Chain A
Amino acid sequence: MNPHRQVIFILVVMPLILGATAIASVDDAQSFALQAAEPYVREGFQVREDYWGGDLAAGEKKAVRQQLFKGNEYWFWLGTEVRRAKVSVHIYDKEGKLIEQPDSWQKGSYAAAHVVPTSTDSYFIIVAIEESPEERTHWALVYGFR
């Protein structure tokens, strides 16, 4: 490649490739989260189209605050496309008390938390990358209710 083309490649093409890769990774993480949700759709859960995501380092956590309604039952599904990563999702009330159901689960690059709110209020969904071979690991959170 001549020097002129190299400059064009570095300045124009590489950022596009890297950008596309980053977008694809978050979308992949969403695919994994949706895959975890699929069996629950058959049980009558309506999975919302929107999702929340980003990237975190291993050991890092983030909170998504969400209004939940008493009477509904919710599942939150977290996924990442990084296969050897370990993720977790847990639900706390405003006072910081763990309120999820015992059938919540965590397995490698998938995790899910189940909650039946005892009051209508906002709650904290804490997502974490527990372990990962990557420096930054994409994650996506989706939820459903019935």
Chain B
Amino acid sequence: MISAFKINKWAGITLAVIGFSAQAAPAPQHIDVKQYKKVEDVVVPLPNEVFAALNKLGPVNWKEFVRTEKGVNFSERPRTALLLGNVIADGFIAVQAQDAPAVKEIGQRVLSLAKGIGVGASITPHAKAITEAADKRKWDSVRQELDRTQSSVQGAMNELQDQKLSQLVSLGGWLRGTQILTAVVSKHFTQEGAELLHQPDLLRYFGDRLNSMPEYSVPVVESIKRSLVEVRPLIDTGNRPISPDAVRKINEITTRLDGEIVTRQ
């Protein structure tokens, strides 16, 4: 979300002058997308993006997915990175459930994990802001701080030239988000819900990233690599809809991976 300190006053004045009535200049109706250089392979969505889409399909009992177990800390950095992404996703779930005590515990857990991986300093103000906003039940602010937390963690990792760890944070969050998405859709199957799993490029992106980090070849990373290969045909169905069986199977796989991420094996 927008931070006041980021807003350039000149930008404000300029926008006030031009207003928002401008129309789009004509753009080509068709392009060859392959000819463009890409900034990012694929932008990884935050878990709350898919949760927002899921909420529109019907009521979800988010409380049943809230999790606040303290869990273990790992000495291996890739494991901690995956767990960090996973716990931040838990924070978004707790926000959906409007569970203030859970949000506060998760904020502290994120801080502890971030400290363990050497990026705690960038998280401390966010953890404090999460607690304050949760106390006031300002859910939009909590959501915003969770987003900032993930962004700061990844920014700090990138500054330390640990881009691969940063990618593991995204992967941990995506796996937990997918686990919840498939749990919700399995309970009350709809074609619209299953379609939210149609993310083949993202899956390919994660697979490529994992293959490019042989130095992080810990068992859980190897397990995720194999599992992504299993998941791919289930969601990359072309024009055919994703079946209830496929949704159930992906839930089993992501639940198994979640267990490997959060517990010491």
Q: List the B side residues contacting A108 at CB < 8 Å.
A: 14, 18
The count of chain A contact residues (Cβ–Cβ below 8 Å) is 60
Interchain residue pairs with CB less than 8 A apart (19): A31-B6, A32-B11, A35-B12, A49-B144, A49-B147, A49-B150, A50-B151, A52-B40, A62-B36, A67-B44, A71-B52, A88-B27, A94-B33, A96-B30, A98-B29, A106-B25, A107-B18, A110-B15, A145-B52
Q: Tell me if B11 and A88 are in contact (CB < 8 A).
A: no
Q: Does A72 contact B (CB under 8 A)?
A: yes
User: What 5 pairs across the A-B complex have the smallest Cβ distances?
Assistant: A107-B22, A63-B36, A31-B8, A35-B11, A71-B53
Chain B residues touching A, range: 35 or more
Kindly state the separation between the CA atoms of A146 and B49 in the bound complex, as whole angstroms.
8
Contacts of A62 in B (CB 8 A): 36-39
A96: which of B2, B31, B148, B195 is its contact (CB, 8 Å)? Answer: B31
Q: In the complex, how many angstroms separate the beta carbon of A138 from the nearest chain B beta carbon? A: 13
B30 to chain A, nearest CB (A): 5
Chain A residues within an 8 Å CB radius of B14? 83, 108-110
Q: Point out the residue from B2, B11, B18, B30 that lies within 8 Å of A79, measured CB to CB.
A: B11
In whole angstroms, how far apart are the Cα atoms of A37 and B29 in the complex?
25
A78-91 CB contact bits vs B (8 Å, 1 = yes)? 01010100001010
How many inter-chain residue pairs (CB < 8 Å) link A and B?
Answer: 171
> Which residues of the partner chain B approach A9 to less than 8 Å between Cβ atoms?
none
Q: Which residues of A contact B160 (CB under 8 A)?
A: none
A107 — which chain B residues lie within 8 A by C-beta? 18, 22
A88 touches B39 (CB 8 A): no
Q: Are B38 and A90 in contact (CB under 8 A)?
A: no
Interfacial chain A residues near B40, Cβ < 8 Å:
52, 64-66
